[in-house]
Amino acid sequence: MEPASSLYLGLISGTSADGIDAALVSFDGDTPRLLHGLTHPWPEDLRQQILGVAQGEAVIDLDALGHLDVAMGHGFAEAALRVLGKAGIDAELVRAIGSHGQTLRHRPAGRFPFTLQLGDPSVIAERCGVDVVADFRRADVAAGGQGAPLLPAMHAMLLGQSGEARVVLNLGGIANITCLGLDGGVLGFDTGPANGLMDAWCARHRGEPFDRDGRFASEGRMDDALLRSLLDDPYFQLAPPKSTGREHFHLAWLERHLAGRSLAPADVQATLLELSARSVADSIARHAAGTRRVLVCGGGVHNRALMERLAARLAPVELQSTAVFGVDPDYLEAMAFAWLARQRLLGLPGNLPAVTGARGPRVLGAVYSASR
């Protein structure tokens, strides 16, 4: 049975931890429509703590982890309240908030696979007065899946078209692709780094959180030997289903490949940009042959140099922003978690087993009720 309100709110902070994306979404039947979106920045001290823990650079005790969870919950609540204020919508009109949280660890392999997202949903429910659905990934992992990516169902709904093989490319901290086949089949997986390594290297050498328009990378020259070394990482050869994150592709990983090399920082940045473009293009060639169009969303769509290298690598396949098809590239991911919250309240599956590798469809997320 459809819940009374058609308004939902989605929240996510991605692997770059560059801010919380908030999307207020309405549903016309099953089709989501973005009403208002914004990105709410993390306080810089909290962002640095998140990045340190996510990259394995900082070891914290249980007390500090608990404090971090609650502090992040307040950040997500503030993002939700801010988008409601900007949209002029009373919280009482929102059926639920879908909060992905912030991933601090993603280890979907091994004897006891797990994935960990923080951002206390009880804090969000209490501050906003809205039911919250959170912890979306662990049910899929418990069912033998990767717990990621979870966006392909939304990509297929909004951007699939019969008669044309398409790929939807999300350029966040990590890149992931959704392959939409002519036969209606859907495949999706993480290809490797997108912006995360470039952002970290830019912050270290330029003191800026990201490489605007790829200007830093454009000052350098790609180094073939370094690129080959980076591409030798076993992750790139794994067959899907597969997923990864900042706990694998981080600056310490890069530094191991830089050992014994003397390269200018701009040359390293240029090589990291080429790594992102090459790993995406190779993945599409290997797993989505016959693709006619690649539609791009996520923060990387604004990196002019990265988009140019992707276009060159993918030619003659057409590369376009999802905006061309009326889907805001900056808030598609947050919209997906609004949709996943709705799926949870309707008792419907949120995963695609063909994508994640789970044993079957699963209803994702846990409900944290608000006092209204």
Each residue's pLDDT tens digit, 258-270: 999 999 999 999 9
CA distance 76 to 119: 7
CA distance 364 to 10: 14
On the question of pLDDT at 2 being above 60, the answer is: no
Domains, in order of start, for the chain? 7-149+331-368 (3.30.420.40), 152-325 (3.30.420.40)
The pTM of the whole model exceeds 0.85: yes
Structure tokens at 64: 């500090």
| CB burial readout 326-344, b (16+ within 10 A) else e | ebebbbbbbbbbbbbbbbb
On the question of pLDDT at 1 being above 50, the answer is: no
CB 223 within 8 A of CB 271: yes
On the question of pLDDT at 4 being above 70, the answer is: no
Q: What is the mean pLDDT of the chain?
A: 96
Note the pLDDT tens digit of each residue in 191-239: 999 999 999 999 999 999 999 999 999 999 999 999 999 999 999 999 9
Q: What is the mean pLDDT of residues 320-329?
A: 97
Quick one: pLDDT at residue 288?
96
